[in-house]
């Protein structure tokens, strides 16, 4: 190993340490409590060394969110390979997002926070480009499920490409997660903690898109059974992906 290669390896390991410790502190104390100087001290490095890796706290948060997306990609790739219908795959993606939210709540909150304008605009262009590159395979994966449905005559194209058709289910999933994570928000307007709410809404949307086979929205027992089956199917793969 050359001196240059050794230095690069040390740099990568040091950056990994900073991200690991930041994730640990966020899980314990919350995103807003994270500060650069205490983080550097917790890693036994000078604050200046930390800033050699990340230009700002926002830069670090975007980098951490990008790393988390790599775990999701492996998980979601497993969903595409399942022998289920394209509509069930789309529902399984929503179930998978919910599982991530339940098992790693700080990750889910970080993703929501990292894409706000205040964070995104203050991260470096390089970090923003890196997370977009990480997320591109996820977007392609979802578009692939949509394209499969179009090819199998399960979904009308509606003069849209596959990516455009994927935006509405994607936005519904992200929006549901944001509302659920804001404590007391839905309840303040008469809502309740209905575990099937996001899935019923997704079925409503897919029915409106004429995505076959249509779901009987009045059959709550069927929807609950479908979600339970998908959770059982996904749990082993979820554990495998996050154990790596």
Q: What's 27's domain CATH number?
A: 1.10.10
Predicted confidence at residue 105, as pLDDT, reads: 86
Same-domain status, 16 and 92: no
Check whether 185 has a pLDDT greater than 90. no
Q: 236 falls in which pLDDT band (50, 70, 90)?
A: confident
- pLDDT class for 118, splitting at 50, 70, 90? very high
What total number of domains does the chain contain? 2
Question: 0.75 exceeded by the pTM?
Answer: yes
3-class SS of residue 137: helix
Tokens at residue 147, please? Answer: 């394209």
Q: CA-to-CA distance for 139 and 20, rounded, in angstroms?
A: 26
User: What is the tally of helices (H) and strands (E) in the chain?
Assistant: 12, 0
Cβ–Cβ < 8 Å for 193, 156: no
Decide if 172 is inside a domain.
yes
Q: What per-residue confidence (pLDDT) applies to 210?
A: 97
State which residues form the domain around 41.
Answer: 1-53
Averaged pLDDT for residues 112-116: 91
Q: What is the mean pLDDT of residues 178-199?
A: 84
Contact 130, 15 (CB under 8 A): no
Query: Which residue has better confidence, 29 or 238?
Result: 29
What's the pLDDT tens digit per position in 136-163?
998 999 999 999 999 999 999 989 999 9
Confidence of residue 230 (pLDDT cuts 50, 70, 90): very high
In a domain, 119, yes or no: no
Same domain? For 14 and 84 the reply is no
User: pLDDT of 55-76, one tens digit each?
Assistant: 999 999 999 998 887 777 888 8
d(CA 110, CA 33) in angstroms, rounded, equals: 13
Residues 152 and 87 grouped into a single domain: yes
Is residue 3 in some structural domain? Answer: yes
Q: Is residue 201 part of a domain?
A: yes
Closest CA to 235 of 73, 105, 92: 92
> Distance between CA 96 and CA 92 in Å, rounded?
6
Q: What mean pLDDT comes out for the span 219-233?
A: 95
């Amino acid at each position: 190993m050359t001196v240059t290669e050794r230095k690069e390896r040390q740099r990568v390991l040091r950056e990994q340490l900073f991200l690991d410790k930041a994730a640990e502190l966020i899980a314990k104390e919350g995103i807003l409590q994270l500060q650069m100087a205490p983080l550097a001290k917790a890693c036994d490095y000078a604050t200046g060394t930390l800033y050699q890796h990340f230009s700002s706290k926002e830069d670090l948060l975007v980098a951490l969110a990008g790393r988390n997306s790599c775990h999701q990609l492996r998980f979601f790739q497993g969903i595409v390979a399942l022998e289920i219908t394209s509509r069930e795959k789309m529902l399984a993606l929503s179930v998978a997002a919910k599982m991530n939210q339940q098992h790693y709540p700080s990750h889910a909150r970080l993703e929501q926070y990292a894409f706000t304008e205040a964070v995104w605009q203050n991260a470096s262009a390089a970090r923003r480009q890196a997370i977009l590159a990480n997320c591109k395979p996820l977007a392609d994966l979802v578009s692939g499920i949509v394209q499969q449905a179009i090819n199998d005559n399960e979904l009308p194209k509606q003069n849209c490409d596959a990516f455009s058709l994927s935006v509405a289910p994607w936005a519904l999933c992200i929006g549901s997660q944001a509302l659920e994570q804001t404590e007391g928000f839905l309840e303040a307007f008469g809502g309740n903690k209905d575990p099937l709410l996001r899935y019923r809404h997704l079925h409503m949307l897919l029915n409106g898109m004429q995505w076959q086979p249509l779901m009987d929205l009045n059959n709550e027992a069927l929807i609950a059974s479908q979600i339970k089956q998908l959770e059982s199917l996904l749990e082993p793969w979820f554990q495998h992906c996050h154990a790596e």
